[in-house]
Amino acid sequence: MSEAPHLLIADVAQILLRPNGAALCVRRRPDAALAPGQLTVLGGHLQPDEPLDRAARREAQEEAGVLVGAGQQEFCGLVHHHEPGGRDRVTAVFVAQSWSGEPHNAEPDKHEGLFWVSLENPPVDCHSYTVAIFHMLTHGPSYRALNWPSQGGSV
Q: Dmax of the chain from CA atoms?
A: 53
* Those residues with Cβ within 8 angstroms of residue 118's Cβ, 6 or more apart along the chain or in another chain: 21, 22, 23
Q: Does the residue 81 lie in any domain?
A: yes
- The reported pLDDT for the residue numbered 124 is 96
Q: Structural domain of residue 14, as residue ranges?
A: 7-146
Tell me how far the alpha carbon of residue 12 is from its chain's centroid.
6
Q: Look at the chain and report how many structural domains it folds into.
A: 1
Report the predicted TM-score, pTM, of the whole model to 2 decimal places.
0.86
As a residue count, the chain comes to 155
Q: Does the residue 103 lie in any domain?
A: yes
Q: Does the residue 115 lie in any domain?
A: yes
- The reported pLDDT for the residue numbered 152 is 45
Q: Does the residue 154 lie in any domain?
A: no
Q: Mean pLDDT by 10-residue block, N- to C-terminus, for the chain (155 residues)?
A: 59 96 96 92 92 96 98 92 74 96 97 96 94 91 71 42
Q: Does the residue 58 lie in any domain?
A: yes
- The reported pLDDT for the residue numbered 153 is 41
- The reported pLDDT for the residue numbered 80 is 83
The amino acid present at 42, given as its one-letter code, is: L
Q: Check the CA dihedral 112-117-123-128 and report its sign.
A: positive
Domain with residue 138: its CATH number is 3.90.79.10
Q: Does the residue 2 lie in any domain?
A: no
Q: CA 68, CA 8: separation in Å to the nearest integer?
A: 25
**Helix, strand, coil: what percent of the chain each, to 5?**
20, 35, 45
Q: Does the residue 88 lie in any domain?
A: yes
How many other β-carbons are positioned within 10 Å of the β-carbon of residue 87? 13
- The reported pLDDT for the residue numbered 102 is 97
Q: Does the residue 1 lie in any domain?
A: no
